């Protein structure tokens, strides 16, 4: 009996051990999944062998992906997506604004496009001073420069497009005519700008249906914009710069006491430019040259390069301190030197010299925030912009940014065509002798910038919105990847700071930054204004990435906006293609 009892106990013990073995084996097998579940990154990257389009509104991303599925290039998809954004996010962008782009061909060639328009030939500093203005207006007809968007689309399509021009506008015309349900963040931004819309009878009629901004989920239509886009689709940029839309702009300007003439519009041509390049931790970083602020990203990274950031945790106060102080130094130079290089010699090469960057880095005290950097011209802080990134199945990348500057731009709607003119001229200064002083036919300092970074087999098109936030956000995105090993989605999501003025120790920071880090920064003298966990002030952004070795594409979209990265649908309903793949 004792032997039998012992045998039963042993059997039970063996069964129990087997169960524990199975449990531990399962636990070990689940470890990668458990680690994934514990990550701080909220979204996964979109990964596909086909193309991907990432924008700040899902309908625009989907439209771009559909263009790719029809055989379009990344340029075609970017134009179509941008046109849809004109409809669904009208406070941020539109045909009344400017455009910049970096286009990387699958073979590696990179082109830059500056499609920002100049001030009217009749608008002078002396005229504004005579009219009693001591600073540039940030709204109204004198803040309007020649809009570059449509001409920029045309140039991108001529150089890199594959589909017929008119096909690219079908999605935008559909949504403008049929209507679309307004999304959450866009509804909130619309609501925040309603006072500006109420100031204009034309704006009220188009953008405040029933006397109020549309609610989340409410269907909004803009048949006047559908008419404008239909004209552009049918006759190209001539409809805007020489045809009925341009005539309406000139007539409106005259009625409001402005100086925009038909010759200002008809003479405009975008400029193909060579991007500026710099290296950071083995990555080649490309930004557009002045009149845009891209040089500030490269200078900020050049200063940060002097410090051992890869050895620091991204949430450490030491890492944050270095980035904040580098921003102040780079932005002091930005405010002082960046302007239209056709009127003021570009300082970009000098600002990126290693000796100069080392000297700037030497000004950073490890234990104390600098509240006095070189003084600069304080510019309007906010910015309302859309950025999108597109990659096609061949590996071409479009990094495109487009804006009407502040929410609903100048506040002026072009009658009969349903869009606002931008107020980019508000970024001029009237300070005599300043590189960015207003002059006839001159492009203002520009905040909107597309980005590109490359290393080995990887190429990333990226951008982050938000006026003066952009250059510093670019640098933080690059650092998240190059210093801290994040993927493109995590790098977009990671908490950020922004400083939207020049001088002083004040800055804004997302609440996800650990409290201990914020306290340590405060002890160094940083004055932190806390924002929400995913604050729009830090700027929404998008990114796409190509791995040339595997030909796999990756997409990412910031949760600070309503958008998404949407993959091109595979041709799984094409029976002949499916049969070929099966073989």
Task: Please give the Cα distance from 221 to 105 (Å, whole number).
Answer: 36
- Whole-Å CA distances, 31 to 19, 34, 158, 571: 18, 5, 51, 36
Q: How many CB atoms lie within 10 A of CB 13?
A: 10
The torsion defined by the Cα of 356, 362, 365 and 371, in degrees rounded to 10, comes to -30
Check if the beta carbon of residue 105 is closer than 8 Å to that of residue 159: no
Check if the beta carbon of residue 52 is closer than 8 Å to that of residue 61: no
Task: Please give the Cα distance from 424 to 145 (Å, whole number).
Answer: 6
Catalytic residue among 385, 447, 498, 517: 385
Respond yes or no: is residue 145 known to be catalytic: no
Determine the distance from the C-alpha atom of residue 311 to the mean position of all C-alpha atoms in its chain, rounded to a whole number. Answer: 29
Q: Long-range contacts: 308-317, Cβ < 8 Å, 24+?
A: 309/479, 309/483, 309/484, 310/281, 310/482, 310/483, 310/484, 312/483, 314/480, 314/483, 314/484, 314/486, 314/494, 315/513, 315/514, 315/517, 316/517, 317/516, 317/517, 317/520, 317/521, 317/524
- What three-state secondary structure class fits 391? strand
Place of tokens 């004055």: 527
DSSP code of residue 303: H
Active site residues: 385
């Amino acid at each position: 009996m004792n032997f039998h009892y012992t045998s039963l106990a042993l059997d039970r013990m063996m069964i129990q051990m087997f169960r524990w073995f199975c449990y531990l084996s399962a636990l070990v097998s689940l470890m990668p999944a458990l680690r994934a579940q514990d990550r701080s990154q909220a979204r996964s990257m979109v990964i596909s062998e086909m193309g991907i389009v990432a924008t700040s509104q899902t309908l625009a991303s989907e439209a771009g992906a559909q263009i790719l599925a029809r055989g379009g290039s990344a340029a075609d998809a970017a134009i179509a997506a941008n046109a849809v954004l004109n409809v669904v996010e009208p406070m941020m962008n539109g045909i009344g604004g400017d455009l910049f782009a970096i286009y990387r061909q699958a073979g590696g060639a990179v082109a830059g496009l500056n499609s920002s328009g100049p001030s009217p030939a009749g608008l002078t500093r002396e005229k504004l001073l005579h009219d009693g203005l001591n600073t540039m207006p940030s709204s109204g007809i004198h803040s309007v420069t020649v809009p570059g968007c449509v001409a920029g689309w045309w140039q991108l399509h001529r150089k890199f497009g594959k589909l017929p021009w008119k096909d690219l506008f079908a999605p935008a015309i559909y949504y403008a005519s049929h209507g679309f349900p307004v999304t959450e963040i866009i509804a909130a931004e619309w609501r925040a700008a309603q006072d500006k819309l109420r100031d204009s009878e034309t704006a009220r009629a188009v953008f405040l249906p029933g006397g109020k901004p549309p609610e989340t989920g409410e269907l909004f239509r803009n048949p006047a914009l559908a008419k404008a886009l239909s004209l552009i689709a049918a006759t190209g940029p001539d409809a805007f710069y020489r045809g009925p839309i341009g005539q309406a702009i000139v007539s409106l300007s005259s009625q409001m006491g402005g100086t925009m003439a038909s010759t200002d519009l008809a003479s405009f041509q975008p400029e193909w430019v060579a991007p500026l390049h710099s290296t950071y931790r083995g990555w080649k970083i490309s930004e557009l040259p002045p009149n845009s602020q891209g040089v500030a990203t490269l200078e900020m990274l050049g200063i940060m390069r002097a410090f051992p950031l890869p050895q620091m945790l991204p949430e450490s106060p030491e890492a944050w301190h270095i980035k904040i102080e580098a921003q102040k130094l780079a932005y002091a130079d930005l405010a002082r030197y960046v302007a239209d290089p056709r009127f003021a010699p570009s300082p970009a090469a000098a600002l990126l010299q290693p000796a100069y960057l080392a000297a700037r880095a030497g000004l950073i005290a490890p234990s104390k925030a600098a509240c006095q950097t070189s003084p600069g011209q304080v510019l309007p802080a906010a910015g309302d912009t859309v950025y999108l990134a597109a990659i096609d199945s061949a590996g071409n990348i479009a990094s495109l940014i487009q804006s009407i500057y502040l929410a609903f731009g100048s506040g002026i709607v072009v009658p009969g065509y349903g869009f606002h003119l931008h107020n980019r001229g508000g970024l001029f200064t009237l300070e005599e002798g300043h590189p960015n002083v207003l002059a006839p036919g001159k492009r203002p300092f520009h905040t909107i910038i597309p980005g590109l970074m490359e290393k080995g087999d990887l190429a990333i098109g990226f951008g982050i919105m938000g006026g003066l936030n952009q250059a510093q956000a670019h640098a933080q995105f690059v650092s998240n990847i190059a210093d801290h090993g994040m993927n493109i989605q995590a790098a977009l999501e990671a908490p950020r700071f922004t400083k939207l003025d020049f001088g002083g120790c004040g800055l804004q920071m997302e609440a996800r930054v650990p409290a201990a880090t914020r306290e340590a920064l405060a002890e160094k003298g940083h004055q932190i204004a806390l924002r929400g966990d995913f604050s729009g002030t830090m700027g929404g952004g998008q990114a796409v990435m190509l791995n040339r070795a595997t030909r796999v594409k990756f997409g990412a979209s910031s949760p600070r906006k309503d958008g998404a990265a949407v993959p091109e649908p595979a041709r799984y309903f094409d029976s002949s293609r499916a049969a070929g793949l099966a073989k």
